Amino acid sequence: MAEQTKIKVEAIVNAPVKTVWQFWNTPADIMEWNTADSSWHTPKSENDLRKGGKFKHRMEAKDGSFGFDFEGAYDKVELYNEIAYTMPDGRMTSTLFEEKTGKTTIITIFDAETENDPELQKQGWQAILNNFVKYVESK
């Protein structure tokens, strides 16, 4: 079996980790920031944040032309520090949160899927992360 390509995205949020964690994991907030592009939205979000718990975020084009469920099962939930999960196709993701001087660095490392170019995937996940930063800092 070929080795899984790993992709890393990161950002710094001008907010303490407790605030970042809340916005990252609350379904009402996820529906506000979870998009890579303004032509998309997340009309529904479910999140059972615990080891063995599951999440499902419905992501759709606003014009109704396309949509999919982004989902997974949590493998690790370490409060204010790390969230790791496995997607239904077996790909894994880990997100680390680290606070320094009132700012929180978020680093996500995920297994690339094989349909799209890894650079395109990185751009999409980075855009969502950047949107998250804008959302948190606007609150």
Query: 2 pLDDT exceeds 80?
Result: no
Report whether 54 contacts 48 (CB < 8 A): yes
Rg (CA), the chain: 15
The tens digit of pLDDT for each residue in 4-59 reads 899 999 999 999 999 999 999 999 999 999 999 999 999 999 999 999 999 999 99
pTM of the model: 0.94
Q: CA nearest 76: which of 96, 56, 46, 57?
A: 96
Tokens of 19: 């605030």
Q: Where are the domains of the chain?
A: 6-39+76-137
Please determine, looking at this structure, whether the domain spanning 6-39+76-137 carries the CATH number 3.40.50.300.
Answer: no
